[in-house]
A and B are shown apart, each in its own frame.
Chain A
Amino acid sequence: QSALTQPPSASGSPGQSVTISCTGTSRDIGAYNYVSWYQQHPGKAPKLLIYEVDKRPSGVSGRFSGSKSGNTASLTVSGLLADDECDYYCNSYAGSFTWVFGGGTRLTVL
């Protein structure tokens, strides 16, 4: 149950796009299309942004999109806004009803 690997930080200017990667293994990301992404503002509970690799829950902005290739998943945030500045976590199903999170990425809007 090793954590997925995310870059500790990412940044972009308002209006730009930024992509956050999440690398796992053939036993988690590579094995299942069950990658989800969460946004967490300081002191708040996480919020689901993406599930099943690229699906958005109702109410989540279309500026957030997800994809996967092999053992790596990605979250793209387009049209950066100041409010996008916070932490982002990936998660993958890892089989046998276990899950694993990434270490998190702090997104800074310059």
Chain B
Amino acid sequence: EGQLVESGGNMVQPGGSLRLSCVASGLDFSGHYMHWVRQAPGKGLVWLSSINFHGSSATYADSVMGRFTVSRDNAETTLYLQLSSLRVDDTAVYYCGRGVAYAVDVWGQGTPVIVS
């Protein structure tokens, strides 16, 4: 069965940067929009960003626009999220997800980012 596996989460100081990766295996990657969603400790899910099939167009939540950048490499079946100018309130588990029918049908296990 296909899966998504995130990595790159770490502890970082305010103002710092990180790059998260999400590797897809055993499932169609290039034919789907991909999403990033985060969940702060004890809080709900928040949509962050989406990228189209080819990586030519991306959208962002207002809270991360200008600080986060999403990209993808279809040859490597990998999705990325570059996080910069990190703030304490960016502390969360970051999930990648595969888009289908305007929903997310496959989720990664999440990677934790701690800004402190």
Contacts and interface: CB of A to CB of B under 8 A. Distances in A.
**Interface size band for A:** 20 to 34
**Interface size band for B:** 20 to 34
Contact of B59 (A47, A52, A98): A98
B44 A101 contact: yes
Contacts of B56: none
A32 B63 CA distance: 23
B80 interface: no
A52 B101 contact: yes
Interface in A11-48: 32, 34, 36, 38, 40, 45-48
30 contacts: A1-B61, A3-B44, A3-B46, A32-B102, A34-B102, A34-B103, A36-B102, A38-B104, A40-B45, A45-B95, A45-B107, A45-B110, A46-B95, A48-B103, A48-B104, A51-B102, A55-B101, A89-B44, A89-B45, A91-B47, A97-B57, A97-B59, A98-B47, A98-B59, A99-B35, A99-B102, A100-B47, A101-B44, A101-B46, A102-B44
Nearest to B61: A1
Interface in B30-70: 33, 35, 37, 44-47, 50, 52, 57, 59, 61-63
A46 B102 contact: no
A69 interface: no
Question: Top 6 closest A-B pairs, CB basis?
Answer: A36-B103, A34-B102, A51-B103, A104-B44, A45-B107, A99-B47
A64 interface: no
A68 to B, nearest CB: 13
Contacts of B61: 1, 98
Given A34-B102, A48-B103, A52-B101, A97 B45 contact: no
